[in-house]
Every structure is written in structure tokens, then in C-alpha cells.
Amino acid sequence: MGNRSPIVCYALLAIGWLSVVLGVIGIFLPVLPTTPFLLLAAGCFARSSPRFYAWLVNHPRLGPWIRDYLDGNGIPLKGKVYAIGLMWLSIGLSCYLVPLPWARGFMLTSAVLVTIYILRQKTLPPRPN
């Protein structure tokens, strides 16, 4: 678990596994994005458990979703649309609930920058199920 506190490592593991579950559900349910959840899981595992990271990246069914992105091949259009849509939905709700103008500005600026980043990534053709 490296130099991180055990609480941080366990939180990253929990978020990672929750993301794996949501990513797998997203393969079958068109309302959940698969790629962003699996990338989040990979990021959490990379910081908390090299064993789970290796398992996920080398998994025969889940690994290709992550490796495509890590290898610079891009993100599926569905993943881009859902990631951007869910991000703006959550930022919009957060801006509605948070009355501080500086916080709203920070959230909106972050959302714009992340949107630009996602849109600039290569787009992969849809995967056959």
C-alpha cells in the first residue's frame, strides 16, 4: 500500500471495487458508462494495490477497455458522452447547492477543462457485445 495511510488505501480500494462493479453493469446497461468507471478503478488500484491494478488491466474482458485508453487508442463515443453528461449533471447540481461564487467558478472551470480533455481524446468505434 506504499506510503499512504491505511484509511486512504482502504478508501481507494473501496472506490476502485465500486467502480469495477458499476463498470461491469455499464457493459450491459446503456445508462451507465463503462470506460470512465473502469479508468477510475484502475486509477484507484494503481494508488492502493498493484495486485488489483495488474488483475484489472490484464483481465480478458475488462482489461481492453483500460488498455485502449492507456495505449492512446482512445475512448468509445458512448464513454465520452456519458462521462461528460454525468459530469455536467453533477456539476450543475453542485453549483445549485453551493452558494459560494468562487466554488461555483472553480467547479465550472474544472468541468470545462475536463470536457475539453475528454473531447480531445481519440474516439474508439463501438465494441461488439
Is the pTM value of this prediction over 0.85?
no
**Euclidean distance between CA atoms 70 and 39, whole angstroms:** 9
Q: Rounded to a whole number, what is the distance in angstroms from the first to the last CA of the chain? A: 35
Rg for the chain (alpha carbons), in Å? 16
Instruction: Look at the alpha carbons of 12, 14, 46, 85 in this order and tell me if their dihedral is positive or negative.
Output: negative
- Residue-by-residue pLDDT tens, the chain, 129 positions: 556 788 989 999 999 999 899 888 878 876 667 778 888 899 999 999 999 999 999 999 899 888 888 888 888 787 788 778 878 888 888 889 888 999 899 889 988 987 888 898 888 876 565
| H helix count then E strand count, the chain | 6, 2
